[in-house]
Amino acid sequence: MSISGHGDASLAIRARGISRRFGSLLAVDRVDLDVPRAAVYGFLGPNGSGKSTTIRMLCGLLMPSAGTIEVLGLRVPEQAEQLKQRMGYMTQRFSLFEDLSIRENLNFMATVQGLDRTAARKRVAALIAQYHFGDRAGQLAGTLSGGQRQRLALACAVVHEPELLLLDEPTSAVDPESRRDFWEKLFDLADAGTTILVSSHYMDEAERCHRLAILDHGRLVADGTPAELSAALEGRALLVRSVAPRRLREIITADTGVVSVAQIGNELRVLTIPDYRGLAVLSAALRSIDAEAQVERVKPTLEDVFVAATQGRTPESRTPPQ
Amino acid sequence: MNLHRLGAIVSKELRQLRRDRMTLGMVIGIPVLQLLLFGFAINMDVRRLPAAIADESATSASRAIVQDLLATEVIQQVATARTADELVELLRQGRISVGIAIPHDFERRRGEGRELIQVMVDGSDSVVQSAARQLAQLPILQAQTGGSQMAAPISVLSFYNPERRSPVNIVPGLIGVILTLTMVLFTSIAIVRERERGNMELLITTPVTSAELMIGKVLPYIGLGLIQTSVVLLLGVWIFAVPIRGSVLDVYLSALLLIAANLSLGLLISTQARTQFQAMQMTFFVFLPSILLSGFMFPFAGMPAFAQWIAQLLPLTHFIRLIRGVMLRGASLGELMPSVLALLVFTTIMMALAILKFRKRLD
C-alpha cells in the first residue's frame, strides 16, 4: 500500500519490514512506512496497536527485532545519536520535570540540546512568547493543566528547531480547544518545513493530516491521504434513519454483508463489505419493522476508513455503548 | 563529555533538590537522629543490671562478697530473695536480669575449694549474659576462694578509649553508616524516580551521554554527603567529645572516598531497579551486611573467615578502618593505603559497570 521511494531525499522516514517482539507478543509486524518531508503524517490505531512501539523504534529508543529504518538519511538504531540532535520527541506521558518551572524546563532542554548560553536565552524567550507562557513562566510544570503541559512539552521538543518531530498521542488528555490550538502550532511548524509524525486516536485529528497510516494489531492496514482512503470506501457507507434504531440494529447486524453498525442519535451508520448487493433486501427488511425507515448511501468518513481497516474495532475513546 | 550539558544536569538536580524538602530534611535529620540514638540510647557498657541476691549462708564472708559485687555497679539490687528458687522465679517474671545465689554451705565449700556462688543470668539478652559472665570473672570472687587457688587479678588496659565510652567507638563509624544509607539510597532513587516519571524517556532522546547523565546526577550528592559528614563530626565533638587525633583533611578525604564508592553503587542499583521500591530494597540488601559485618557493630577479627571475606567487599568495612585510624589513632591516610585503594577500586568498578549497564534505550 505504500509508495516506493528508494533513497528518496523527499522522504523523512523510510522503514521497511520493521517488527518488534516482546517475549511471545509481536507488537509490530513487518511495517513499511514512507513519511514525506514537511508534512503532517498521522499514525492511527486502537490502543495497543503498536503505535508507540513503532515511534520508539523510529527514534532509536527500542531496537527493532527485524527490518531497516532510515530517518533523515540516517540509519537507526546505528546512527541514532546523530539523529537525536535533529529530531524532537514528545512522549505519550508528560515527561518534563514537574518540580521545575516552565522557564527552567525550557532552559534545561535548550542547554541539553546544545544551544549556547545566548542562543538558549533568546530561544527560550521566543518560545515563552510564542507558546503563550508569558505571564506564568515561573510556574512549576507540575501545576499546569493538561493543555498547558502539552504546549510546554511541544515547546521543549522544538527548542532546538528539529527537522523531524515525533509526537506520541500528544493530545490524548487534552480538551477540544487546547487540541485545536495544539494543531495550529503543528501546522505552523509543518509550514516552516518540519516533518511531523503524530499518533492519535481522534478522527478529527486524522482528518487534518496530510497523510495517514492505520495500524492494527501491529500491522499496517491502511496508508494514504485522507481523501484517498475515504474514496477507497466509496459506496460502502450507509445511513439508516429511524425512530426505532435499536430494533433495526439487530436486523442490520445479522446481515452478513455488514461490517459494522454504530448508532449516532436516531441514526445508524453502517459499513458494508465491498460490492455489497443486499441493499434492497435490507431496506425491505427494515421497513417491515419501521415503515418510515430511510436507508441511503453516504460519503464515507475517516471513521469508516478506520472501522474498515480495523475490522469493526473502533478506537477506545469513541467506542459507542453497546 | 560536554561540560555545558553536564552543568545543565547538575544545576537541574540542585534546583530539584532545593524543592525537595523531604530529602533535604533527611540529609540533616538522619545524621542527627542516628547520632543521638547511637550515642545515648545504645550503650554497650552494661551498668546497673537489675539483680537480686539470695544469701542463704549469711556469714560475714558472704556479706563481704555481696558488698563487693554491688560496688562494681554492674548489678543493682532491686529485689530480695531468700532462696535460689525465689531467684529463678524473679528471673522468669523478668523483674531481675541477674540472680546471685550464695548457698548455705558457703563456708564449707570455701574450705574445700568447691564452687562458691551461682550467678543466674537472663540469657535472652546476649549483652546481659556476657556482662554477667564478666561478673563471674571478677578478681574479688577469686580472691574470696582464698588459699592456693588465689588467681592473679586480671587487669584490662584499654588504649584509645580508656574510659570505654561507646560514642568514641561509634561516632567515627557512624559517619560511614549514615553515608552508606543515604548516599546509596538518594542516588538510586533519584534516577529510578526519573524513569518512573517518564523523564528518562525524554532525556535519552536528547544528545545527553550516559556519562554526563550519571556524573551530573552524582555531583550534587557529593556536596550533601560532605554536609552530613560535617553534621556528625560537629555533634560528635560537641556532645560526645569524640577526639579527632588525625588531620581533619584526612577525615574529609576518607569521607569523600566512601561517598564516591556509595554513589557509584547507587548508580549501579539505579540501572537495575525498575521502581523506587526495588531501589530501596536493593539498598537495604547492601546496608544490612554493611552495618553488621563492617566492624561497626562487631569486631572484624572475631568474625568467621567467610563473613570477613564478604566484609572485604563492602566499602563501609574499609571506611571504618580509615576513619578509626585517622580520628582515634591519629594515623594518616598514607599509613592506611590498603583501605584507600580498596575504596578507589570499588568506586572505579561500580562506576564503570553503571555507565556500561545504562542504556540510552528502553529495552
Per residue in B1-34, pLDDT (tens digit) is 788 999 999 999 999 999 988 888 888 888 888 8
* SS3 label, residue A159: coil
Cβ within 8 Å, pair B206-A61: no
Tell me the chain B residues in contact with residue A81 when contact means C-beta distances shorter than 8 Å.
207, 360
Cβ within 8 Å, pair A62-B362: yes
Higher-pLDDT residue of A311, B188? B188
Instruction: Nearest chain A residue to B210 by CA: give it.
Output: A81
Inter-residue contact B275 to B192 (CB < 8 Å): yes
Q: What percent of chain B has pLDDT over 90?
A: 34
Nearest neighbour of B8 by CB, restricted to A60, A96, A108: A108
Distance CA B41, CA B33 (A): 11
Topology of domain B49-149 in CATH is abc type-2 transporter like fold (3.40.1710)
Q: Decide: residue B249, CB within 10 A, 0-12 exposed, 13-18 middle, 19+ buried.
A: exposed
Per-residue pLDDT reduced to its tens digit, B316-356: 999 999 998 899 888 899 889 999 999 999 999 999 999 88
Per-residue pLDDT reduced to its tens digit, B48-62: 788 898 888 888 888
Question: What is the model's pTM?
Answer: 0.79
Interface of B with A in 183-202 (CB under 8 A): 197-199, 201-202
Q: Work out the minimum CA distance from A41 to partner chain B, whole angstroms.
A: 20
Q: What percent of chain A has pLDDT over 90?
A: 66
Cβ within 8 Å, pair A99-B20: yes
Nearest neighbour of A84 by CB, restricted to B8, B20, B206: B206
A320, pLDDT greater than 60: no
B205 touches chain A (CB under 8 A): yes
Q: What percent of chain A has pLDDT over 70?
A: 94
B361 touches chain A (CB under 8 A): yes
Distance CA A62, CA B68 (A): 78
Mean pLDDT of B122-133: 66
A174, pLDDT greater than 90: no
Inter-residue contact B190 to B199 (CB < 8 Å): no
Cβ within 8 Å, pair B207-A108: no
- Averaged pLDDT score across all residues of chain B: 84
A125, pLDDT greater than 80: yes
Mean pLDDT of A172-200: 91
User: b/e map of B352-361 (b: 16 or more CB within 10 Å)?
Assistant: ebbbeebebe
Question: What pLDDT was estimated at residue A10?
Answer: 84
A95 touches chain B (CB under 8 A): yes
Question: What pLDDT was estimated at residue A44?
Answer: 92
| E-strand stretches of B146-257 | none
B359 touches chain A (CB under 8 A): no
Inter-residue contact B206 to A112 (CB < 8 Å): yes
Domains of chain B: which residue ranges?
3-42+165-357, 49-149
Nearest neighbour of B8 by CB, restricted to A77, A85, A112: A112
Question: What pLDDT was estimated at residue B97?
Answer: 81
A21 touches chain B (CB under 8 A): no
User: b/e map of B49-79 (b: 16 or more CB within 10 Å)?
Assistant: bbbbbbbebeeeebeebbeebeeeebbeeee
Question: What pLDDT was estimated at residue A240?
Answer: 92
A177, pLDDT greater than 60: yes
Mean pLDDT of A47-71: 93
List the single best residue of A22, A58, A112 to mutate versus B (max B Cβ within 10 A). A112
Interchain CB contacts (distance < 8 Å): A and B: 75
B7 touches chain A (CB under 8 A): yes
Tell me the chain A residues in contact with residue B195 when contact means C-beta distances shorter than 8 Å.
none
Higher-pLDDT residue of B119, B352? B352
A94 touches chain B (CB under 8 A): yes
Region at A16 (left for phi over 0; alpha for psi -120 to 50; beta for the rest)? beta
Tell me the chain B residues in contact with residue A95 when contact means C-beta distances shorter than 8 Å.
197-199, 201-202
Cβ within 8 Å, pair B207-A95: no
B154, pLDDT greater than 50: no
Higher-pLDDT residue of B66, B230? B230
Cβ within 8 Å, pair B15-A104: yes
Cβ within 8 Å, pair B197-A95: yes
Interface of A with B in 152-181 (CB under 8 A): 156
Looking at this predicted complex, what is its ipTM? 0.80
Inter-residue contact A104 to A133 (CB < 8 Å): no
H or E stretch covering B287: helix B276-293
Instruction: Nearest chain B residue to A165 by CA: give it.
Output: B205
Question: What pLDDT was estimated at residue A105?
Answer: 96
Cβ within 8 Å, pair B205-A84: yes
Q: How confident is the model at residue A4 (pLDDT cuts 50, 70, 90)?
A: very low
List the single best residue of B4, B14, B206 to mutate versus A (max A Cβ within 10 A). B206
Per-residue pLDDT reduced to its tens digit, A241-269: 988 888 889 889 888 889 899 998 889 99
Q: Within 13 Å, how many C-alpha atoms sit on residue A228's CB side?
A: 12
Distance CA A224, CA B2 (A): 43
Q: Within 13 Å, how many C-alpha atoms sit on residue B268's CB side?
A: 17
Mean pLDDT of B295-302: 80
Instruction: Nearest chain B residue to A65 by CA: give it.
Output: B363
Domains of chain A, earliest start first: 11-227 (3.40.50.300), 235-298 (3.30.70.100)
Cβ within 8 Å, pair A91-B363: no
Cβ within 8 Å, pair A61-B205: yes
List the single best residue of B12, B24, B193, B217 to mutate versus A (max A Cβ within 10 A). B12
Nearest neighbour of B207 by CB, restricted to A77, A81, A104: A81
Mean pLDDT of A54-76: 94
| E-strand stretches of chain A | 11-22, 25-36, 40-44, 66-71, 74-76, 87-90, 164-167, 195-200, 211-216, 219-224, 237-241, 258-264, 267-272, 294-297
B21 touches chain A (CB under 8 A): no
* SS3 label, residue A33: strand
